[in-house]
Chains A and B, each alone.
Chain A
């Protein structure tokens, strides 16, 4: 509504513009309800699509919003963003971040207090914003590496407590752990005319889930961050299909194993073969 009144206050609102704002900013059925309310119930817009509102609508931050911002200052990761803290001097945090325990988060998270890490993070973020290429130097598994690429996203995993850089260079998609980078140079701006974000290679996993030991709820919640579909086959048996990125196959394999015999993978065949290999290897460990 604020966007509509802003246009109306500036005498630039038209019927088409009104529809467009509602389509872009409101819910699907708002295109019916908002125009009707503006005609009959809300004394905000006149018939000629002007408004008695004098100023472009704006609102100061609420106390809750300020307190939330203040809460963020307790988080070690805020050092990556260096926001202007002025205006929050007399504000109390909304809650204490150490009241939350991430009990199964991995213990080797990124070093947010490290000056080199923070500098690399800021350069990469700047490169993403300004669509610039970067030169990254990092220690590979066996030797120092150098890569020139264009980052397009910073991806964070709460489970790993790590940032990864998603980038493209020479037709290749890179996923590089931020913490491994020792040096980052900002290079020239890139012509983004023909840039399309590379699509990850995805695969589909299908498994049969036996609802013993509350596995249904546990597994469906566990895998809920994937695009997935569940079909009930019988009272205690379900078929779950989910899409995953090929690069994450090993991780998904051990996540499936963690459910033991409650989950039976039925496709793809190569995934089943990976499970068999693990079981064979386990048998050899027991000799």
Chain B
């Protein structure tokens, strides 16, 4: 079959794009999830969509392709392109323009009348055009009714179609759409709206911008829809290491998004374990909505109690709740340090002990989860205490390794 840059199933290419973007050091042979031919096709598609951002380097073991984007320098997320490459049939594209052209005139037409107009006004201009049957047109009209493009009026067995009313002043929305197409979790929808503009606004820039989320848009939207409708979902999960597929039936409660680490998670009630569990969004391949669950309020009450001791997404309760305290020294003119403690803490308290000493204290499920944040205060930590001594030991062991790494204390090389 001839190569096409369009795709039927976004899921097929999602993992390749992620690998090229996050890692970018693998050779063709290391993409072992699919065949080598599949790799070639997906690589060629991604190059066709995102050629400006693709680079490669070569060594004795082969060529390594990677996607590299300074997300601060771009105005629009280029990864949305992958959603604009959906494949279609020859009839799909022709019927799209025929039908919308027919209903552009104020009218209300039956399927038969639309078929006649397509044959007489459009297909008759072409000698070798495809043949058309009424059921194909009926399906297309139904599809467009579901999308909200057409409105159907039913009178007994007769159905008449006309263009849906659209009184939204999209021009007045364009600045908001330009901003939220990058900042809203379902921004890919805004990206399609921007395509309607002759010149989309380009006044906004984005710092600390994790564009990779775009690839999880469909999964996210399916989960958010289920949450709104209070439905259980069946998740198909792909293990990151073994590539095995797992199924889990979950009641989705919240999406937990990290704006510092780039990860997103589903927090849901795991029916089997009868507990709250996190699932990486990028590990979810498929979301199938299930029945409405009437216990929503109970799950939310459970979540409200549960979140009290969350720092990030670790729910480790091996030691129960752990208490941690960090004391830092603050010099003259360093008011930004207590400000940092106040704005960056996610729970816990910040207390001024004396003119130059501040203490952060918190009770959390997993104190080790705070270590990356605590390390950002290296240079001013006077004391670190934790009910789980392993956390303190790890901090000081890592600190010692850092000292070794950068040449000791006073005799830096």
User: With contacts A260-B401, A281-B380 known, is A229 near B123, CB below 8 A?
Assistant: no
- How many Å lie between the Cα of A58 and that of B163 in the bound state? 11
Closest chain A CB from B310 CB (angstroms): 7
List of A residues within 8 angstroms of B31 by Cβ: none
Instruction: Given A221-B261, A222-B260, answer yes or no on A285-B203 (Cβ-Cβ < 8 Å).
Output: no
B55 on interface, CB distance cutoff 8 Å: yes
A114 interfacial contact with B, CB 8 Å? no
Q: Contact: B104 with A58, CB < 8 Å?
A: yes
Asked if A53 is an interface residue, CB under 8 A from chain B, the answer is yes
A-B contact count (CB 8 A): 325
CB contacts (< 8 Å) of B227 on chain A: these are: 95-96, 99
Given contacts A158-B206, A258-B373, contact A46 B125 (CB under 8 A): yes
Query: What distance in Å separates the Cβ of B96 from its nearest Cβ neighbour in chain A?
Result: 9
Report chain B residues within 8 Å CB of A283: 403, 409
Expressed in whole angstroms, the Cα–Cα distance for A82 and B321 within the complex equals 45
Shortest C-beta distance, B385 to chain A (Å), equals: 14
Residue from the set A103, A238, A264 with the largest chain B CB neighbour count within 10 Å: A103
Given contacts A61-B148, A100-B185, A259-B372, contact A264 B101 (CB under 8 A): no
**With A100-B255, A227-B69, A260-B371 given, is the CB distance from A28 to B47 under 8 Å?**
yes
Main secondary structure on B side of the interface with A: mixed
Which residue of B has the minimal Cβ distance to A127? B203
Contacts of A221 in B (CB 8 A): 22, 210, 212, 261-263
B185 touches A64 (CB 8 A): no
Chain B 332-346: CB-based contact to A (< 8 A → 1; otherwise 0): 000000010011111
Contact B57 A229 (CB under 8 A): yes
Interface size of B as a range: 35 or more
User: How far does the alpha carbon of A107 sit from the alpha carbon of B344 in the complex, in Å?
Assistant: 7
Task: Mark A263-286 against chain B: 1 for CB-CB distance below 8 A, else 0.
Answer: 010000000100111111111011
Is there contact, CB below 8 Å, between B186 and A261? no
Contact with B along A45-78 (1 / 0, CB 8 A): 0100000111101111111111011011001011
B225 at the interface (CB under 8 A from A): yes
Nearest-neighbour CB distance to chain B for A86, whole angstroms, equals: 6
Does any Cβ of A come within 8 Å of B289's Cβ? Answer: no
Binds A, one of B107-115, B165-173, B359-367: B165-173
- Given contact pairs A103-B256, A258-B372, A5 touches B339 in the complex (Cβ within 8 A): no
Does A147 make an interface contact (CB < 8 A)?
no
B148's partner among A64, A255, A286 (CB-CB below 8 A) is A64
Contacts of B406 in A (CB 8 A): 264, 272, 275-276, 279
Given A43-B94, A99-B227, verify A108-B346 contact (CB < 8 Å). no
| CB <8 Å contact, B179 and A69 | no
Residues of A within 8 A of B329 (CB): 285
- Which of A62, A77, A231 meets B57, CB within 8 Å? A231
Q: Is the CB of B148 within 8 A of A66?
A: yes
Known contacts A155-B205, A260-B371; A65/B192 CB under 8 A:
yes
Q: Tell me, in angstroms, the Cα distance from A57 to B122 when the chains sit together.
A: 14
User: In whole angstroms, what is the CA distance A100 to B183 when docked?
Assistant: 13
Which residue of A61, A101, A231, A243 is within 8 Å of B168 (Cβ)? A61
B372: chain A residues within 8 A (beta carbon): 258-260
Q: A86–B227 Cα gap in the complex (Å)? A: 27
A229 touches B68 (CB 8 A): yes
Which of B168, B203, B399 has the most C-beta atoms of chain A within 10 angstroms of its own C-beta?
B168
Q: For the complex formed, measure the closest distance between the CB of B18 and the CB atoms of chain A, giving whole angstroms.
A: 9
CB of B168 within 8 A of CB of A86, answer: yes
Residues of A within 8 A of B267 (CB): 101
Smallest CB–CB gap between B381 and chain A, Å? 6
**Chain B CB within 8 A of A12 CB:** no
Of the A-B pairs whose beta carbons lie under 8 Å apart in the complex, a sample of 14, sorted by A's number, is A43-B125, A44-B93, A53-B122, A60-B166, A62-B149, A88-B168, A94-B225, A104-B261, A156-B204, A157-B206, A159-B260, A160-B208, A221-B262, A279-B399
A contact residues vs B (CB 8 Å cutoff) = 1-2, 5, 27-30, 33, 37, 41-44, 46, 52-55, 57-66, 68-69, 71-72, 75, 77-78, 81, 83-84, 86-88, 93-96, 99-108, 125, 128-129, 153-160, 164, 166, 216-218, 220-222, 224-232, 238, 243, 245, 254-255, 257-261, 264, 272, 275-283, 285-286
Given contacts A33-B5, A54-B101, A259-B372, 5 further A-B contacts (CB under 8 A): A42-B90, A87-B166, A104-B261, A245-B72, A277-B379
